[in-house]
Amino acid sequence: MAAKPTMLTEEGLRKLEEELEYLHSVKRKEIAEKIKIARSYGDLSENSEYDDAKNEQAIMEARITTIEAILKTAVIIDESNVTNEHVHLTSLVKVEMLNSGRQAEYRIVGSGSNEANPREGKISDESPIGKALMEKSVGDVVEVETPGGVIALKIIEIGK
């Protein structure tokens, strides 16, 4: 069975490639040096520095494997072919929360891309809000189940 494609923006692809290069060229060397130093302390059975370095190495190698898997299935979103008629991946969506009148702006990003960062207003297309907004148009109202209860969002603007 083929792996599910990971939709990425050009920026998301660039960031993943930069992170992978950093992990390969810098971080691996740093951790190898930590392991070497920790080994010099002697008995490995009671060497917390060695255990910490090996744990850090395992976490880093898992991250490298994850990034490589993402890059193998990456499909770059061609933003030149998309319009602002409907919400889609890469859309910048301005919404009004009807219960409070507050407004928010979200950039819709691919779910497998690791680009999502709610603090920066980047939400996954598979998050509750992202999923509710996909393929909707300006003026549409969507209801979203959140941990705090159901919220109603009205789409005010769709941009790139």
Residue 9: which of 158, 125, 129 has the closest Cα? 125
Secondary structure class of 148 (helix, strand, coil): coil
Tell me which of 2.40.30.10, 3.40.50.1370, 3.10.50.30, 1.10.3720.10 is the CATH number of domain 79-159.
Answer: 3.10.50.30
Q: How much helix, strand and coil, in percent to the nearest 5, is found in the chain? A: 45, 25, 30
> Given this model, what pLDDT does residue 82 score?
67
Contacts of 82 (CB under 8 A, 6+ apart): 88, 90, 91, 160
> Given this model, what pLDDT does residue 68 score?
92
> Given this model, what pLDDT does residue 63 score?
93
Q: Which residue numbers in the chain have pLDDT < 50?
A: 1
> Given this model, what pLDDT does residue 81 score?
66
> Given this model, what pLDDT does residue 149 score?
85
> Given this model, what pLDDT does residue 127 score?
86
